Structure 1
């Protein structure tokens, strides 16, 4: 990846287009699950989202393999796709980018207020 790709995110765009092309080959219920996974997993990303690309690739590979085996989506992911996504990125209590920003803001405010004493 060169500097321009890293700044513009074009490498991630290419990778996501590849993921979407692979997902279109899945059965309809798997495609719906893939859309839910992608919409629920982005909140766990860092500023760029690059940390999620290997996770998305693995999740899509899981869907491809299990659809080829003829398993239903409920057998693979269960009923709670949000919980599945949280488990992919860490624990049930995985921090989102909002949690990280809130924590950083609280630390900055506490530091500034602590300096006023």
Structure 2
């Protein structure tokens, strides 16, 4: 990945198109699980979502493998897709972008208040 691709995000566009093409050939149940996985993992992403690409690639690979082996989504992931995604993102209670932004805002407000009070 070169600087221009990083700045423009063309590398991300290429990755998402590749994910979409791979997901298109999955059986319907696996495609539905893929959509749920994407929705549950997005809150754990950074501003660009680059940090999620390896995780999403691995999750899609798991879905592809289970589809090839003839397993159902429930056999592969269980009934708790949000829990599966939380485990992928770093376990239950993994920090989301909202948590990081809240902490940053609290630090900034505390710093401003300490300047005013002291």
TM-score w.r.t. the length of structure 1 is 0.95
Between the aligned partners of 1:39 and 1:112, the Cα distance in structure 2 is 36
Residue 83 of structure 1, CA deviation:
1.3
Runs of 4+ with >6 A deviation? none
Unaligned stretches of 5+ residues in structure 2: none
Between the aligned partners of 1:114 and 1:83, the Cα distance in structure 2 is 40
Residue 67 of structure 1, CA deviation:
1.1
1:80 aligns with 2:84: no
Residue 40 of structure 1, CA deviation:
1.4
Unaligned stretches of 5+ residues in structure 1: none
Match of 1:29 in 2: 29
Q: Secondary structure at the match of 1:57?
A: helix
Residue 68 of structure 1, CA deviation:
1.0
1:63 aligns with 2:43: no
Match of 1:41 in 2: 41
TM-score w.r.t. the length of structure 2 is 0.95
